[in-house]
Structure 1
Amino acid sequence: MERLGSVQQKVACLFLTEVTEEPSWKREQQPFRVVASETINPKALVVGVLSAVPTEKVDGTCCYITTYKGKPYLWARLDRKPTKLAEKRFKKFLYAKEDSKEFIWNIEEDFKQVPDYWIPAKKIKQANGNPLPDENGHIPGWVPVEKGSKQYCWHLSVVNYEAEVGLVLRPCPEDSGVMEITEVPLSDLLEQTLELIGTNINANPYGLGSKKHPVHLLVAHGAFQIKNQPHLKYNDLVLWFESSQRGKVEGIVWHCDDGSLIKLHRHHLGLSWPIPDPYLISQPVIIKVNLTKYEHNFDPKSLFSHFSKMNGQMYEGLKHIDFEERTAQRVNK
């Protein structure tokens, strides 16, 4: 099977869905909702969802690691979106629910301009050499996160291009019941997609850091596998999300053998998110950030330096990592 976290294809919902005229719970300014029926999507069955690897859907902003200027770089998600007129036509089509027809886009005229260095996401559908929009009317793509960028300052906080490393949250290889925060060579993450989570991302559903000391981390897609998943039936999944400790997640993403992704979000089932005490913050976490092996001098105010001072320390969970408390302890000494 293709390694989890790499650039995937054919993303589909586990269940057949329909569009309602209610505003989206997940995406701001999206005036419609996508809700699941109780029928499994035939596309999911065709690509082998019944034998796929279930993983936790982590709530962040999507990133990509690939080469830029001859070095491994972090790229931020930037979708090419339709113009107001094209979006109006698309919404009218969605509400009409004419399943027998397909919406026709004019790629050259219907979409806003993007930076010259923008690249479309891999393996999306194309026609006549042009990338086609997804089910939301967007063309997924990426822009490199360059040093000095104010727009992507939180992305920059988790990478160091001189040392070519990124700050990653992942399962601890030595202990399956523990997570670790560690620095990982960007070259080890090439051609992978990840989520950036933290204080200033998506209203911080995991309670990381604080306004004074923001904390952000990268999580590779597929990093946290789900064991003992429920049966792939509507009612069983609703019960799992509502009653199971492991079900306190934003959703599930199944990684199929052919690289396809099948997803299910709590919102598809009419369940709320964020929720108190999500599963990701309930597990112990150890800090493994050792900067002594690098010739590069890290900024003492950077996340890398802060975490390096905590190297080897274990915490009950992510929300217990407190830079302010550590600063207070140093002052008291």
Structure 2
Amino acid sequence: MNEPILIWGAGAIGGTLGAYWARAGVPVLLVDVVAEHVEACRSQGLAISGPVEAFRQVVPAVTPEELEGRYRRVVLAVKAGATEAALAALKPHLADDGFVLSAQNGLNELAIAKAVGEQRTMGCFVNFGADWLGPGEILYGNRGAVVVGELGGSTSERAAEMHRLLRLFEPDAVLTDNIWGYLWGKLAYGAMLFATALTGDSMSVNFADPARLPVWLALGREVGAVAAKRGIASLGFGEFDPMVFAPGAPEKPQIAAIAWLADYTSRTAKTHSGIWRDLAVRKRKTEVDPQIGIIATLGREAGVATPALETLVALIHDIEEGRRPMAFETLKVLIDRCRSVSTAA
């Protein structure tokens, strides 16, 4: 098929996928709102750097205003908070028999399905480490899990096609009939990453500190409780099994999971999360509401209390608005909250 894959959002995830696909000879068209980034990608090329591989690849790219035509395969790779605006802009360019694949963090498939229909939505779990450093520059810090699947769990030719394409980027990419399990499994890890961004410390330093363990346990358990209420069998990556945080599960395997995260995050060139970069470097709002706030909302609907998640969301907002610093004293508020909840339980 000569029709290009339309990648809406050419940042850390979309840009890395686009560069690899273009280098492999797959027709790709990037769409991004940053004009300088678009120009760099289509002229001098998109530079991928880091310990995994380093190369520069010219990739066709346009701004949304420059885009023409309709496309069958659309990969949505914008920040979660930009999902609805991106959907409104891309819908006129989605072919009648087309679909949108969400290569994002969170549960954005819910918003996509609402906008274009569940049958035109495909789920994707991505957990490789990458950062957008500036126009035409992306750090590919470490390989990670890549999983694709239909929302309803069926096997389809189009999902198999996307799986084949994703294997050009990540040879170990998985085609699954339980994409929701992977997405919810990552939410437990994602919630913890938001908490690591409350300080300037690296991800590995956060996970290795015994004083901070109550936070990781509380967040994992709350996500696990909401997932269980929704009938989700969560799936993980590497040796991180989110089911160890299911209601009533023993603590020892949970502590082992956090120890594995401390080791896992120490082995990447991406020492801090993208959330930390948003707050400390780019000085912009994070994806905390669509990624973490939605878990608390779904929890309330299901009758599951999520005090740690709600406190985390409030603290991230405090940093965004300049009311609190990125420092241990801010994380300490969450530690104390998690300890009080644990004691009360």
When normalised by structure 1's length, the TM-score is 0.30
When normalised by structure 2's length, the TM-score is 0.29
Question: If you compute each CA radius of gyration, which structure gives the higher value, 1 or 2?
Answer: 1
Bigger helix fraction: 2
